[in-house]
Amino acid sequence: MNTIIKQLLEAAEILALETDKLTFEGKVNHVYNPLIYAKATHMDYIKKYGNGKKKVLFLGMNPGPWGMAQTGIPFGEITYSKDWLKIEGKILQPERSHPKRPIDGWECNRSEVSGRRLWSLMEERYKTASVFFKDHYIENYCPLVFMEEGGKNLTPDKLPAKERDPLTEICDNHLKKVIEIMKPEFLVGVGKYAEKNFKRVVETMNKSERYKISAILHPSPANPHANRGWSEAVTRQLLAQGIW
């Protein structure tokens, strides 16, 4: 097996196990860890596309309920995960499911807007996934999905410090490993939260390594700026940053 793939698989395994040991209270009513129940598909993603050093590493926040929560793939919109990325693997069930947020896996009939926007831009520019992943890779900072009692999504930045800090330490260590393994030139946060995580982690790393850190507009429909020509805006950003 390719050395880089092997290192990424080992890092993902550690991330899955360490985050699965954490406990959450307060507003958090349910926690999903797709690296556990969708391990097969996540490993397939790494094996197919984590096969070398990359020029650009994109970083998302955490799984969306209709994306990575269902498929185990960062920004894992169902159609693109199956038809463009050609991901395969059995998707199991979380230990404890929320009735309003079922995991239907490959049978999910909901489309995640963020993932659809992101992958459709990459398909438009690179045509095939293999061409895109030759120089690019996409990772999520936090692998966990948090839900309130009513099923509302709760992002990691909204957790209280006593719960957020142990999670941050684990996710920072994993992100540092991924950067060290892939040695990208450009670190691109999909949104400002991810960019902040890149900056904090790089501060702890070898100062002789030079990384160019930036951000692009997050594709979530919850972001009003993303609902007016997201792909055109992000293309302009990546061209201005010297990445494209």
Q: What is the mean pLDDT of each run of 10 residues along the chain (244 residues)?
A: 95 98 95 98 98 96 96 98 98 95 96 97 98 98 97 94 97 97 97 97 84 97 93 98 97
Instruction: Determine the CATH number of domain 3-240.
Output: 3.40.470.10
Report pLDDT for 38.
98
Report pLDDT for 146.
97
The DSSP line for 166-230 is HHHHHHHHHHHHHHHHH--SEEEEESHHHHHHHHHHHHTS-TTS--EEEEE----TTSGGGGTTH
Report pLDDT for 210.
85
Residues 8, 1: contact at Cβ < 8 Å?
A: no
Integer Cα distance of 21 and 227 in angstroms: 37
Domain ranges within the chain, ordered by starting residue? 3-240
Report pLDDT for 208.
64
The three-point CA angle 47-53-55 to 5° equals 120
Integer Cα distance of 103 and 96 in angstroms: 11
Q: Which helix (H) or strand (E) holds 12?
A: helix 3-20
Residues 133, 49: contact at Cβ < 8 Å?
A: yes
DSSP label of 52: S
Report pLDDT for 209.
74
